[in-house]
Amino acid sequence: MRKFAHRRRVAAEQLTDRPQYALISIIRMPKLDRSPAQAIATRIVGAVVALFVTSAVVYIDRDGYSNSVDSPLSYLDCLYYATVSLSTTGYGDIAPLTPFARATNIFLITPLRVMFFILLIGTTLEVLTETSRQAWRIQRWRERVRNHTIVVGYGTKGRTAVDAMLGDGARASDIVVVDTEQATLDVASARGLVTVKGSATRSDVLRLAGAAHAAAIIVATDRDDSAILTTLTARELAPRAKIIASIRESENMHLLKQSGADSVVVSSETAGRLLGIATTAPNVVEMFEDLLTPEVGFAIAERRINDDEIGRSPRQLPDISLGVVRMGTLYRADDSTVARLQERDRILYLRRTPESEARNGADRARPGRT
């Protein structure tokens, strides 16, 4: 056991102790929404600014320069000198003469010349700049990420879970996807999600995903054994996070509970029940789909009770109450244990979606409606 723990600590150090630039192939931040035309326009604007700054500096000290016609430099001459100087053409017809003008060329115009090349010509430098920017963004994200949700596995279950969270108002920046397949992570990154490449059964990968500061961890792997090991690892790193795991077989539910999962969803049995119900009551299945789709119709939501609801029965609330959560335990709304609501209770209720509310408002506004 000691050797195993030592190997895990060494593995954790291999990733979490790496410099930020070494994590670019593992952590991917969402790309900024900027088109190629905008990127080119930004470069051109930067180059033009550098050109005019150089010409202005030369014009201010125009007496320190000599030209072939031996006459005072006009602003057009200064702009011409800035152009040939920054582009390294250097015809030599205008040259710095005084020590101050030469110092200006060394300490100001030369850096501007380098910046000019970076903006217009430096394709390789652009790649290096992007790498540095990504490393900086990764560092800032790791320092600031808090109360986020980690989704392990971005297959059908993981994508559906993300869709449900986004539909319920969650921000894409608050969701981190962990998966081993780069193609899958590319799909998640295109949606604005932060991605981490690696197996979530490894503690160092979950550390990079910020598991210690996560509010919830969703385990949506394709295999039950991976789900159990991932849950065990996640619970060790995040003792306070809410862990929701999905498995295929109900016989593995107790193993997930023992590993630290707060909620377990048996995907095969849930799908089987809906298929069975659909044979005799297909409308019930349609209603379940409506309840599980937060964007339309009704949705099952959870909230804290208001001060004026303390002491009342769940049935007396204006919302259609389904259950009451008290001290972490869920009770049905008709359970006598929660016949009177207490201060810290939370209720599960049917919530109308904004689209449903708007549609109902439009129906009420029609002529003949009362």
Q: How many separate domains does the chain show?
A: 3
Q: Lowest-confidence range among 54-63, 122-131, 314-323?
A: 122-131
Give the mean pLDDT of 217-225.
92
Q: Are residues 168 and 102 in the same domain?
A: no
Q: Are residues 267 and 155 in the same domain?
A: yes
Q: Are residues 173 and 263 in the same domain?
A: yes
Q: Lowest-confidence range among 18-22, 45-49, 195-199?
A: 18-22
Q: Are residues 151 and 277 in the same domain?
A: yes
Q: Are residues 236 and 168 in the same domain?
A: yes
Max mean pLDDT range (112-116, 221-225, 284-288): 221-225
Domain annotation covers residue 141 = no
The confidence score (pLDDT) of residue 4 equals: 40
Which has more confidence, 17 or 314? 314
Mean pLDDT of the chain: 80
Does residue 83 surpass a pLDDT of 60? yes
Domain annotation covers residue 168 = yes
Q: Are residues 164 and 220 in the same domain?
A: yes
pLDDT tier at 31, thresholds 50, 70, 90: low
The confidence score (pLDDT) of residue 206 equals: 93
Q: Are residues 217 and 102 in the same domain?
A: no
Q: Give the global pTM.
A: 0.59
Max mean pLDDT range (191-205, 265-279, 339-353): 191-205
Does residue 159 surpass a pLDDT of 80? yes
Which has more confidence, 29 or 325? 325
Q: Are residues 240 and 316 in the same domain?
A: no
Give per-residue pLDDT as tens, 185-211. Answer: 989 988 889 999 999 999 999 998 999
Q: Which residue do the tokens 């490449």 mark?
A: 197
Domain annotation covers residue 14 = no
pLDDT tier at 82, thresholds 50, 70, 90: confident
Q: Are residues 107 and 152 in the same domain?
A: no
Over its C-alpha atoms, the chain yields an Rg (Å, rounded) of 31
The confidence score (pLDDT) of residue 38 equals: 65
The confidence score (pLDDT) of residue 115 equals: 76
Residue partners of 32: CB distance under 8 A and separation at least 6? none
Q: Are residues 160 and 265 in the same domain?
A: yes
Q: Lowest-confidence range among 3-7, 40-44, 49-53, 342-346?
A: 3-7
- Report the candidate in 1, 31, 348, 54 with the shortest Cα–Cα distance to residue 192: 31
Q: Are residues 217 and 252 in the same domain?
A: yes
Give the mean pLDDT of 66-95.
81
Does residue 270 surpass a pLDDT of 90? no
DSSP state of 340: S
The confidence score (pLDDT) of residue 369 equals: 44
Last residue of a domain, one of 123, 138, 156: 123
Q: What whole-number percentage of the chain has pLDDT above 70? A: 80
Residue 312 belongs to domain spanning = 296-365
Does residue 135 surpass a pLDDT of 50? yes
Lookup: tokens for 160: 């559906």
Q: Which amino acid is at 293?
A: T
Q: Which amino acid is at 285?
A: V
Which has more confidence, 92 or 206? 206
Which has more confidence, 6 or 164? 164
Does residue 8 surpass a pLDDT of 90? no
Q: Which amino acid is at 346?
A: R
pLDDT tier at 37, thresholds 50, 70, 90: low
Domain annotation covers residue 311 = yes
Give per-residue pLDDT as tens, 350-369. Answer: 887 655 555 555 444 455 44
The CATH number covering residue 351 comes to 3.30.70.1450
Give the mean pLDDT of 104-123.
74
Strand blocks (E) in the chain: 27-28, 65-67, 94-96, 149-152, 175-179, 194-197, 216-219, 242-247, 263-266, 298-304, 320-326, 329-332, 346-352
